Structure 1
Amino acid sequence: MTRPIAVIGPTATGKSALALDLAERLGGEIVNADAMQLYRGMDIGTAKVPTAERGGIPHHMLDVLEVTETATVATYQQQASAVVEDIQARGHVPVIVGGSMMYIQALLDDWTFPATDLQVRMRWEQRLAEIGVAALHAELAVRDPAAAAIILPTDGRRTVRALEVIELTGQPFAASAPTIGTPRWDTVIVGLDWKTEELDERIALRTDLMFEQGFVAEVEHLLGVGLRDGVTASRAIGYAQVIAALDAGGAPDDLAQARELTFIGTRRYVRRQRSWFGRDHRIMWLTGGLADAAGLCGEIESRWRLSSNT
């Protein structure tokens, strides 16, 4: 069987560890579906599994972009689809893992994206330059609250794209999304989550560890290779906050504020993830902390071995 398994869900739930366990158990290979883990050097701030801890299991769609390049859902969809089918052709199991909502849906539902119009795009980009990303995001919230709920208020590029699609199609941004049906390749979709209080604790611990393990130094290094010029990478949660702190002088109080804002930003992002994934009836939800890893893997494997008709 080469039917893929997708391990999805909010940030800091333990998806990467579960995916590794599954890949080892089933003879699988990992396919990343975290937009920020596409970037080389963005390791600590994205909780990328270090090479030494991957157990020799091949990982794909990691470290494929420089921080100066722009990540797009359409490009990811094309490249990741080819990776999944190559893994299947070699008789292995693709284990897709991540929490980037649009990237996952584009991959599993073969999302066809509306065409772009250069003049419309340039008009919205000019509007962005005039009023700033926060104000433009507020305009999007008025036009399409659902789109604004899933796009970060700091993400000018995706805000512009959503407004462009709305203008071109005359419909909400989400209307271009595919109908949720049988997932591509008959993929088994597993969602991992925790109780809110427990997940908040995990986010706080993860944030603290990031800063203790050299996150600020990582950002400083990436600034030296063009992070500030990256349209996508520079706005990632944590990175944007540390850049602002360094620009303010990098004093201990500035960095402490960056740590707190990273925690707050991650919690807000989790709410968006839960809202997005919560509408997908295909997901088999598992609660972290209520079973050991072997028990979770066994439950997922049982579902995986069933045919799609049962």
Structure 2
Amino acid sequence: MAAVTRPIAVVGPTATGKSDLGLDLAERLGGEIVNIDAMQQYRGMDIGTAKLPPRERRDIAHHQLDVLDVTETATVARYQAAAVADVEAIRARGAVPVIVGGSMMYIQALLDEWAIPDTDPVVRAKWESLLADGGVSAVHEALRAVDPQAAATILPTDGRRMVRALEVVELTGAPFAASAPQIGTPRWDTVIVGADRETGLLDERIRLRTDRMFDAGLVDEVTALLGHGLRDGLTARRAIGYAQTLAHLDGEYDLAEARERTFIGTRRYVRRQRSWFRRDRRVHWVDAARADLVEHVLALVEARAMD
């Protein structure tokens, strides 16, 4: 197996067990982990993102964890440049990059060499202001006026993505879809493994994960992050679990409802991830519940190495 040099990406819905699988693969192949979960880039956002603590990383190097303050905006472009450099450096060391996570646009940016349109602070601020003042309905109406296709395909509750679409349309003069990456051979000929579980069982894992986060001190974590400017960040404060906990701290609803809304939000996000990844025919899907999961994936990787 040591002869395998191409990267392996372990993708799929939240709570399927990607982190453990990624660690097992890195341990067996002599690899290093490259995180591709947008919210795990934030320092201090540990409990609510299910970030593996250092003591559980098996002395395996991890990249793109804890690289942003909560006041900074997580962007696909920044991640793409940094993660490409990480993967290239890992390969230059003769190790195997094991890319692990479920942030959909980040994965496309990294593996499909997405030429991401520039951002403009003034244009972005204009649409962010519309979102803040008028809510998602206002930005959805604005997007529908200039790009009906984007308005029809982006979830009407996804305010941040609609803001980005409006920005791209204004800056490029072309529909948002025109900047989408072309799906072909993944960069570095990466082997893409999709981890999933039966829906009912995955829902149980999401429920357990949510309860563990709150029991482990998510409210205390969010309270501490307020002192580091969490409310000032455009992306960090909107993360699932953090947004609901902030609302709880603001008195919008009690702790039980914060838990329930976090569970529902995570489950809804999982459905989106599953729909997104299932459209990609390059993904080799595996049942993350199978007893021989690691051996099964290693056999798949070895077969691809012989292509």
- Normalising by the residue count of structure 1, what TM-score does the alignment of the two structures yield? 0.90
Cα distance, 1:76 vs structure 2: 0.3
What does the per-residue CA deviation read over 1:226-281, in whole Å, with 9 as the maximum and x for residues that have no partner?
111111100000000000001007xxx61110100000001111111112112211
Determine if contact 2:140/2:151 at 8 Å carries over to the other structure: no
Distance 1:44 1:152, change over 3 A: farther
Residue 148, structure 1, aligned to residue 154, structure 2: yes
Q: Which residue of 2 aligns with 1:198?
A: 201
Spell out the pairing of 1:179-258 with structure 2 (5 A cutoff): 179-248=182-251, 254-258=254-258
Q: Which amino acid aligns with 1:292?
A: D
Question: What amino acid is the match of 2:295?
Answer: G
1:124 aligns with 2:137: no
Distance of aligned partners of 1:220 and 1:296 in 2 relative to their CA distance in 1, 3 Å threshold: farther
Deviates more, 1:43-52 or 1:124-133: 124-133
Measured in 2, the distance between the counterparts of 1:53 and 1:117 equals 40
Could you tell me which residue of structure 1 aligns to residue 27 of structure 2?
24
Partners of 1:15 and 1:245 in 2: CA distance = 30
Separation in 2, partners of 1:119, 1:233: 21
The equivalent of 1:296 in structure 2 is 296
Identity %: 66
What amino acid is aligned across from residue 148 of structure 1 in structure 2? I
RMSD after superposition: 2.1
How far 1:193 moved relative to its partner? 0.6
1:72 aligns with 2:75: yes
Contact 1:8/1:98 (CA < 8 Å) preserved in 2?
yes
Deviates more, 1:50-59 or 1:269-278: 269-278
d(CA) in 1 for partners of 2:200, 2:212 = 19
Counterpart Cα distance in 2 of 1:238 and 1:176: 31
Once residues 160 and 241 of structure 1 are traced to their aligned partners in structure 2, the CA distance between those partners, rounded to angstroms, is 21
Question: CA 1:39 to 1:272, structure 2 compared with 1: closer, same or farther past 3 Å?
Answer: same
Could you tell me which residue of structure 1 aligns to residue 100 of structure 2? 97
Which aligned pairs between 1:108-119 and structure 2 lie closer than 5 A? 108-116=111-119
Contact map agreement 2:25 2:294 (CA 8 A) in 1: no
1:215 Cα deviation after fit: 1.0
- Per-residue displacement from partner, 1:106-141 (whole Å, max 9, x unpaired)? 000110012345664444234224312454246547
> What's the offset of the Cα at 1:294?
3.3
Structure 2 partner of 1:280: 280
Aligned length: 301
CA contact (8 A) 1:147 1:173 kept: no
Structure 1 residues 152, 72: CA separation in 2 closer, same or farther (over 3 Å shift)? farther
Conservation of the 8 A alpha-carbon contact between 2:195 and 2:287? yes
Cα distance in 2 for partners of 1:167, 1:101 equals 24
Shift of 1:168: 4.1
Give the aligned residue type for 1:184: R
Matched with 2:169 is: 166
Amino acid paired to 2:64:
M
Secondary structure at the aligned position of 1:136 is classed as: helix
Q: 1:139 to 1:282 in 2, by over 3 A?
A: same
Distance in 2 between residues matched to 1:263 and 1:10, nearest whole Å:
14
Matched residues in 2 for 1:125 and 1:64: separation? 24
Are the aligned partners of 2:191 and 2:301 in contact in 1 as well (CA < 8 Å)? no
Contact kept in structure 2, 1:147 and 1:162, CA below 8 Å: no
Measure how far apart 1:195 and its partner are: 1.3
Alignment check: 8 A CA contact 2:111 2:187 kept? yes
Deviation at 1:224, TM superposition (A): 1.5
Matches of 1:41 and 1:73 in 2, distance apart? Answer: 20
2:43 corresponding residue in structure 1: 40
Contact 1:188 1:303 in 2 (8 A): no
| Contact kept? 1:207, 1:262, Cα under 8 Å | yes
Q: CA deviation at 1:170?
A: 5.1
Shift of 1:166: 3.0
Q: C-alpha deviations, 1:46-84, integer Å up to 9, x for none?
A: 011111111100000000011111110000000000000
Partner of 1:51: 54
**Aligned pair 1:4/2:11, yes or no?**
no
